[in-house]
Amino acid sequence: MIILAFYGIHRYQLVWLYFKNKKNAAKWREPVARFDEANLPFVTIQLPSYNEQFVIERLIQACCKLDYPRDRFEIQLLDDSTDETVEVAREIVERYAAGFEGMPPQPIFYVHRTNRYGFKAGALDEGLRTARGEFVAIFDADFVPPPMWVMQVIHHFAEPEIGMVQTRWTHLNRNYSFLTQVEAILLDGHFVLEHGGRSRAGVFFNFNGTAGMWRTKVIAEAGGWQHDTLTEDTDLSYRAQMIGWKFKYLQDVECPAELPIEMTAFKTQQARWAKGLIQTGKKILPRVMKSDAPFHTKLEAWYHLTANLSYPLMIVLSTLLMPAMIIRSYQGWVQMMLIDFPLFMASTMSVSSFYLVSQKELFPRRWTRTFLYLPCLMGLGVGLTITNTKAVLEALFGVQSAFARTPKAGIRKKGEKSQAHKYRKRLGIVPWIELLIGCYFAFTIWYAITSENYFTVPFLVLFVFGYWYTGLLSLLQGRFDWLGPRSQGETHEKPYPVGI
């Protein structure tokens, strides 16, 4: 708990950095310099894709509607698909390249690989070999960039030292389900306080793999896209910043995307990020510590790249709670207030306050609704410990694995039925382990009540809820699809407002 408390205190520090350096926040309307509007730089839009037949047209349509001179940008669909997406994507590209829905012919090209070497990093590297852009913007298949996105970002590169600009993710299907609401809060905390705090303080932060733009030559100077980690974006980000390039984060530029609608997809995504960050930490942290970067930059890099070590620590804490309660059964209130309460405030309350602040920054009029989601948010964090601990241990011991994509369903509103059933994956024995651990904590609650140790009961309830919620949803989601709508016609519903 002491080690977890240090990571918890770091969350308080990120909030402090965010507000302390508020004057340093970059805004898209206030670039330090601007390009000549009559001679804008050439931009390549890269769209890496793998088996995304249900969302690929939405992405291409949005990119073809970007408000940027048609003679100053190109679109590359970098498709590694192995299913029907190949035919679907090729037909869509040909349609837009020839002119479609009253639009002029679009500068869009289809690039297909069959070997998937290097996965996403390999596809991006393949595209760079023929890219003509001085700058390259990247969008994953589940993103829908708004028309003004390129114009909002490009002028910040008029500063010659800027190597990458990241924008904030928002959520197309935030209101789809309870799970997507909680996922949105988790991501908002990252994009507001982590990115905001780090960028404003001038320390290293990372490109998120999508919804960002790079100066093309920076990628080559930093060593190019490398695929020895599952978070190639973070790896490249640190390498670029260590050779002197500066990054910008535009919190006020939004790029909406689709959240995973099923627990298995969400856990797969989180496990990939957890494993990738530990892999990147093993690779990059020794270089960072030997570099001439300031101490506070090195310390922040350490916290950032090792944060997922908290998951194995949570497993240890979980297994020790029951024995600790038995051993300390005669502990009085004084010892509890001097030891347990401060550690609880540092390691647990920091999480809830972190996400409350992020929601208050984004939604000042309705942020108090977040209190309703906090117990579930913390419980979900607990429930992820088994999957993410497995991922972290694989990274620590050098176990390699393929890039596990997050299935995209292409849906936004409640009641819509996903067509992406064939992309659904099961997690084997892991959900059953989560249910068993939940039962263990249910027994621990019974022991706490019978021994009159009531202070620990709310804390233990979070563990029971977290493990049972993630375990049951992993097992049951998709089992009752036949209860849903039998068919879904084409929808002309307007998208949710960005940020809602």
- How does DSSP assign 317-385, residue by residue? HHHHHHHHHHHTTT--HHHIIIIIHHHHIIIIIHHHHHHHHHHHHH-TTTGGGHHHHHHHHHHHHHHTH
Of 94, 44, 40, the closest CA to residue 69 belongs to: 40
Whether 407 shows a pLDDT value over 80: the answer reads: no
Structure confidence at residue 494 (pLDDT): 36
Structure confidence at residue 1 (pLDDT): 80
Catalytic residue annotation: 80, 233
DSSP 106: P
CB atoms within 10 A of CB 7: 19
263-275 average pLDDT score: 93
pLDDT digits (tens, 9 = 90+) for 48-64: 999 998 899 999 999 99
Assigned CATH for 2-261: 3.90.550.10
pLDDT digits (tens, 9 = 90+) for 5-16: 899 899 999 999
Structure confidence at residue 332 (pLDDT): 62
Whole-model pTM: value is 0.90
Q: 226 is written with which tokens?
A: 């490398």
380-391 average pLDDT score: 93
413: pLDDT confidence band, cut at 50, 70 and 90? low
Query: Which neighbouring-strand residues pair with 214?
Result: 136, 164
Q: 73 is written with which tokens?
A: 């940008």
216-245 average pLDDT score: 97
Whether 234 shows a pLDDT value over 90: the answer reads: yes
487: pLDDT confidence band, cut at 50, 70 and 90? very low
Ordered by start, the domain boundaries in the chain are 2-261, 309-480
Amino acid identity at 495: P
Distance (Å) of CA 213 to CA 149, 157, 205, 356, 433: 10, 9, 14, 29, 41
151: pLDDT confidence band, cut at 50, 70 and 90? very high
pLDDT digits (tens, 9 = 90+) for 206-227: 999 999 999 999 999 999 999 9
